[in-house]
Amino acid sequence: MSASDESLHLTATDLRLATFRLARRLRHVRAVDAMSDAQLAVLATLRMHGRRTITALADAERVTAPSMTSMINGLAEQGYVVRIPDEEDRRRVQVDITESGSAIVAETIQRRDRLLAGMLAELDLTEAELSTLREASALMRRVVDR
């Protein structure tokens, strides 16, 4: 049996509000304060998926290629990414994350996980409630991975 339109709308509203507030809290925690969310997202994409062209990164992050080029320039200057000539087409450039860039992503993830674990600990949740949250997060991943 499918959910009603009203139920879907109410659930969408609740999820949007909760995820927005949670994301805002988590975004404030990062390993490098001077790094923007967009720069961190690019590093995370490279860490998770490996080398990418600037065009592929721009598409993934939904920005223009010139904006991505500017962002990559800044990350390269800080030593977080390197440009590598494409082996098949020397006119193209691949962007890869460096060890220090990967360390920034890993440290940011650890800090955010610690913050969220602390927030959950303050609520003194039962194992059943934690299980419900894990199930809800799996459902949320299904929604965004579609």
Domain of residue 46, CATH code: 1.10.10.10
- The total domain count for the chain is 1
Look over the chain and give the mean of its residue pLDDT values, rounded to a whole number: 93
Is pLDDT above 70 for 114?
Answer: yes
Cα–Cα distance, 68 to 56 (Å, whole number): 10
Cα–Cα distance, 29 to 82 (Å, whole number): 25
Q: What is the mean pLDDT of residues 30-42?
A: 91
Is pLDDT above 70 for 1?
Answer: no
Q: What is the mean pLDDT of residues 28-38?
A: 90
pTM of the model: 0.83
Q: Which residue has the higher pLDDT, 74 or 33?
A: 74
Encode pLDDT of 64-88 as tens digits.
999 999 999 999 999 999 999 988 8
Is pLDDT above 80 for 89?
Answer: yes
Domain holding 14, by residue range, is 5-145
Q: What is the mean pLDDT of residues 100-116?
A: 96
